[in-house]
Amino acid sequence: MTPELSFDTLRILIESDHLPPWAHGLLSLLRISVIVLLWWLLSALARRVIRLAITGMESTAECPEDRRRIQTLGRVFRYIASVVLGVVTVMLVLNELGVSIAPILATAGVAGVAVGFGAQSLVKDYFTGFVMLIENQVRVGDVVELGGKSGVVEEVTLRFVRLRDLEGAVHFVPNGAVSTVSNRSREYAYAVVDVPVAMDNDIGRTLQSLARAGETLCSTPEWQGRVIGALEVLGIDRLGEGGMVLKARVRVSAMEQAAVRRALLQTMVETLRQDGIRLPAQATAISG
């Protein structure tokens, strides 16, 4: 008997409908074992590939928050891979056991449509959260404005962003409600102040006084590491009752704009008083 004949005979026997029940059961068990083995191998391969990719991305991360974001993405990808491989494996095993998967697929399709209509906002939250993590729009510790709320980011998940505002109130903003993210914590920011002065002040002396206040602040050791540029006196911004409002700004390190603005206001008040620059009668304070 030639090898070709042996293989042909074996194929005919396997495909024959006249095999005893125990032989069909043995073949089904063998195929199920192969399916489970392939699932195990593919799952291990997917986990290894994702782990290597995450490790490579973590090695280039600039801060712990970036590493946490990358780890979150790794968990998401592992979950997706597990679900896809698990569903495919279960369907193949059920088919080998003689269970028709067509009704199951049809039912799953109908259920999926129903769940999709009922949970559109939830799906939108997860999708938007995934995009936000991929694009690194928001990190823990950032000062942001999103979804009509502003504050310091305390937690970022696929479902929501948790913020704590200046008064300590905690806001849970669903990712699906986020259309625009205003992040005040990237690279640098500007401390902006509006300075109301009386109309009869000399404009030139007033601008010089404000510039001197900026130089004083920049030369103070406490603020040298936070202020990264000279004060820009932009000039008259608007006219008010009995006075005019001058606008100035200074570039500062990210997250330092509030502290620098308060120090700048204090320095400006002291310098304006020393130089005899009067505030308008209606003004009670310099605002920022």
Burial of 285 (0-12, 13-18, 19+ CB in 10 A): exposed
**pLDDT confidence of residue 1:** 45
Q: Please, which pLDDT band fits residue 5 given cuts at 50, 70 and 90? A: very low
Task: Give percent of the chain with pLDDT exceeding 70.
Answer: 80
Q: Please, which pLDDT band fits residue 57 given cuts at 50, 70 and 90? A: confident
Q: Please, which pLDDT band fits residue 113 given cuts at 50, 70 and 90? A: low
**pLDDT confidence of residue 71:** 75
Q: Is residue 146 within a helix (H) or strand (E), and if so which, with residue range?
A: strand 143-146
What CATH number is given for 137-183 in this structure? 2.30.30.60
Q: Please, which pLDDT band fits residue 45 given cuts at 50, 70 and 90? A: very high
Instruction: Answer with the residue of higher pLDDT: 105 or 94.
Output: 94
**pLDDT confidence of residue 29:** 82
Q: Where are the alpha helices (DSSP H) in the chain?
A: 3-15, 21-59, 64-96, 102-118, 120-135, 203-219, 221-224, 257-274
**180 vs 81: CA distance, rounded Å:** 30
What are the domain boundaries of the chain? Answer: 19-118, 137-183, 188-274
Contact between 160 and 170 under an 8 Å Cβ cutoff? The reply is no
- pLDDT tens-digit series, residues 147-196: 888 888 888 887 888 999 888 899 999 988 888 888 887 778 888 888 88
**pLDDT confidence of residue 83:** 83
In CATH terms, 188-274 corresponds, of 3.30.70.100, 3.30.70.2200, 1.20.1260.10, 3.40.1550.20, to 3.30.70.100
Query: For residue 110, is pLDDT > 80?
Result: no
What CATH number is given for 19-118 in this structure? 1.10.287.1260
Query: For residue 40, is pLDDT > 60?
Result: yes
**pLDDT confidence of residue 24:** 63
**pLDDT confidence of residue 285:** 47
Query: For residue 283, is pLDDT > 60?
Result: no
**230 vs 266: CA distance, rounded Å:** 17
Query: For residue 90, is pLDDT > 70?
Result: yes
Contact between 143 and 189 under an 8 Å Cβ cutoff? The reply is no
Q: Please, which pLDDT band fits residue 130 given cuts at 50, 70 and 90? A: confident
